Structure 1
């Protein structure tokens, strides 16, 4: 674990190559780059709203510039050797040409050749490498909703701590808390579907939830019971294939339906990350599936929604398909993945009539994270909070999101704090599908 931590910290803060001076607001690809939520002395996070429009190379260059200006990513990570860089480019040329073009743009933003064999340009990582959050989500197909729209509610939860603190070490000056520098990123490329995502950790690929102009949503959640990658490089740069964030972005940019998403998953090599993850993918036709990876043989499994609302938390659905056979858990363990699943499942089953957008928000509020516990492979108990909560309306191509600011008054019954959020922000994509 210490070996892995050393790699993560080096890749995010220290080792690297390439740097470039920036001319402020000089890039016409950057339509918007503004502070959406400012970090205050008593609040947890900051959020940027970024809108980019141009070729994929231009988008990559713009993201590289913003990564330097905002996140202080002044140096890129390095490959173990030139052969890995060449293999990376060949893989992307065949499987993900959109990212290959963006890699060229990232290289340009750091003053590098697009065929540079030293620096890793396939990610703009910061604060931590690949770490799916603990989350909860529920998909409501159009037939189950009041407005006849397909809706998804999604909470993104994580420890309010640094990577070092998760590993049981003391934080040092300059460390940023995990998920404390977040973004709402809209991309309008010349090739690939336009999209809007909310994310952190990797400005080039990273998001924890997003929707494209065709009405396809990808939601990323941690699988608490999965098998983590303890290799020194969980990013995939030296072993080939895509890490989970890159796979998510590939799906969002090239798929209009859940069936197309399955094909992309099956046709790509996935590199397991530091924290294992699983996906919920849904489309404008009311179809959804959960993608799980077996911790035993790493086989892929798809669980369909079959026209019904579908709940997902932080355990493999294919391994635990029946609530009556869930492992035992304390009724006080409100962040336990099985507790949250049952809470959401009960809400769906007990609800009378169809679900309104307000009902979706209420459901997600029942499983907010506001405890101190061990999760996300932390070595000891740490504060755990819902950092943002989202409501998607697929038919409108709209996203409503609010962000965690700080703890509120303590609940005397539980001893846990309430959560203070921003007012909701609302965004809307231009439709391309029906």
Structure 2
């Protein structure tokens, strides 16, 4: 199995180090590569499983997402365990801490100057370690120390399987999941938190049958070619949260796009723009989608309404472009000067060209003396065409 690893951004002197892992071959071989990388970088080990639940999860994946089950088999081979014994969970389900703030938008080809559809996002997240973040959220003193920040080792993953579409994606820590990505068909997905509309405490992280929040984007990229197919797949897929609720921006090269949201009672919403750009930040768009009629931000909202209003204003013209999208995302990004109570930064900014199935990203490296952020150069990652089947 050909596999390539390289560091594409950052290093020991920067906030983050970003590896790019490219794997080709069967899904089992790709899963083996992910497990080896997870052990190498994150010291990953599986957790003990409830055998009944683990068996039910395997059955669900076999029916609905066989690519993921095959990659779990590759992880089992790395560990030397029997997948069918159902003794451990062989995928990384760790949940997401409360409070991330992200912004994203989609421009259909009908409103771009070159007729190319683009989808872009800021990934805004904490700059602290897991221990320090827990202390902050608990209202106690921050211990400090040498523990690495949670988001200091994101990965770019390119997969070229022999039994499905090729994909390029970014994940913060779980190598079998996805925070945003694009496949060879020109379908792109971005995950965003929705802490504002969460009215209950998050459950204890525990793998369930179906898809957890960070698996949904990877599931769609593995199994769908269009936004229409993604909508149907989401309607038919069992989904659950392991932390704060999330929602997703999903778009394709034809001009079709929607925001997928699951409400408090489990009701599901696919929100489409009547025309023009489709924007999303960290609140329910199906409840507050009109930029002219938004609630006021508070300390907990992480400027979601302000960012949504501004992003919508900057994306309202008829002559949009990838360049304008970059400017709009920069205008709502978070750096040391942002008026938020938490230690957060825009950790990367990504723009997808869905016509060419390319992903262009720059990564946060640290703060400049003036409070602005230092970023890597923009890096372009193309999605290879998968092996003919």
TM-score, length-scaled by structure 1: 0.82
How many residue pairs get matched?
379
Confirm or deny that 1:407 pairs with 2:379: no
* 2-structure distance, mates of 1:251, 1:329: 32
Confirm or deny that 1:83 pairs with 2:52: yes
- Give the structure 1 partner of residue 158 of structure 2: 186
1:175 is paired with a residue whose SS is coil
- Give the structure 2 partner of residue 279 of structure 1: 248
* 2-structure distance, mates of 1:115, 1:39: 40
TM-score, length-scaled by structure 2: 0.91
Confirm or deny that 1:71 pairs with 2:42: yes
Shift in alpha-carbon separation, 1:229–1:249, aligned structure 2, 3 A: farther
* 2-structure distance, mates of 1:230, 1:393: 35
- Give the structure 2 partner of residue 311 of structure 1: 279
* 1-structure distance, mates of 2:29, 2:351: 30
1:36 is paired with a residue whose SS is strand
165-174 or 178-187, which moves further after superposition? 165-174
Shift in alpha-carbon separation, 1:130–1:144, aligned structure 2, 3 A: same
* 1-structure distance, mates of 2:369, 2:102: 23
Confirm or deny that 1:209 pairs with 2:191: no
Shift in alpha-carbon separation, 1:218–1:106, aligned structure 2, 3 A: same
Structure with the larger RCO, 1 or 2 (CA within 8 Å, 6+ apart): 2
Which of 224, 230, 239 is residue 202 of structure 2 equivalent to?
230
* 2-structure distance, mates of 1:129, 1:374: 27
159-168 or 209-218, which moves further after superposition? 159-168
User: In the alignment, is the contact (CA less than 8 A) between 1:131 and 1:273 conserved in 2?
Assistant: no
2:77 is paired with a residue whose SS is helix
* 2-structure distance, mates of 1:371, 1:324: 28
* 1-structure distance, mates of 2:275, 2:109: 9
- Give the structure 1 partner of residue 32 of structure 2: 61
* 2-structure distance, mates of 1:167, 1:69: 25
User: In the alignment, is the contact (CA less than 8 A) between 1:214 and 1:431 conserved in 2?
Assistant: no
Confirm or deny that 1:167 pairs with 2:134: yes
* 1-structure distance, mates of 2:226, 2:161: 19
* 2-structure distance, mates of 1:340, 1:101: 40
* 2-structure distance, mates of 1:172, 1:89: 40
- Give the structure 2 partner of residue 11 of structure 1: none
Task: Using the TM superposition, give the Cα deviation of residue 251 of structure 1 relative to its aligned residue in structure 2, in angstroms.
Answer: 0.6
- Give the structure 1 partner of residue 96 of structure 2: 130
User: In the alignment, is the contact (CA less than 8 A) between 1:29 and 1:58 conserved in 2?
Assistant: no
User: In the alignment, is the contact (CA less than 8 A) between 1:186 and 1:197 conserved in 2?
Assistant: yes
* 2-structure distance, mates of 1:82, 1:374: 47
- Give the structure 1 partner of residue 120 of structure 2: 153
Task: Using the TM superposition, give the Cα deviation of residue 245 of structure 1 relative to its aligned residue in structure 2, in angstroms.
Answer: 1.4
- Give the structure 1 partner of residue 289 of structure 2: 321
Query: What per-residue deviation string (whole Å, max 9, x for no partner) do you get for residues 265-320 of structure 1?
Result: 1111111121210000000101100011112x121101012342111111100011
Task: Using the TM superposition, give the Cα deviation of residue 229 of structure 1 relative to its aligned residue in structure 2, in angstroms.
Answer: 5.8
Query: What per-residue deviation string (whole Å, max 9, x for no partner) do you get for residues 388-422 of structure 1?
Result: 00111111111110000111133xxxxxx211101
1:339 is paired with a residue whose SS is helix
Task: Using the TM superposition, give the Cα deviation of residue 372 of structure 1 relative to its aligned residue in structure 2, in angstroms.
Answer: 7.8
User: In the alignment, is the contact (CA less than 8 A) between 2:260 and 2:270 conserved in 1?
Assistant: yes
Task: Using the TM superposition, give the Cα deviation of residue 384 of structure 1 relative to its aligned residue in structure 2, in angstroms.
Answer: 1.0
* 2-structure distance, mates of 1:204, 1:333: 30
Which residues of structure 1 form unaligned runs of 5+? 1-27, 376-380, 411-416
Which residues of structure 2 form unaligned runs of 5+? none
Considering only aligned residues, what root-mean-square deviation do their CA atoms show, in Å? 2.3
- Give the structure 1 partner of residue 333 of structure 2: 368
- Give the structure 1 partner of residue 381 of structure 2: 427
* 2-structure distance, mates of 1:116, 1:47: 35
Task: Using the TM superposition, give the Cα deviation of residue 430 of structure 1 relative to its aligned residue in structure 2, in angstroms.
Answer: 3.2
User: In the alignment, is the contact (CA less than 8 A) between 1:229 and 1:276 conserved in 2?
Assistant: no
Query: What per-residue deviation string (whole Å, max 9, x for no partner) do you get for residues 59-90 of structure 1?
Result: 111111111122221x21111x3212211111
Shift in alpha-carbon separation, 1:220–1:58, aligned structure 2, 3 A: same
- Give the structure 1 partner of residue 69 of structure 2: 100
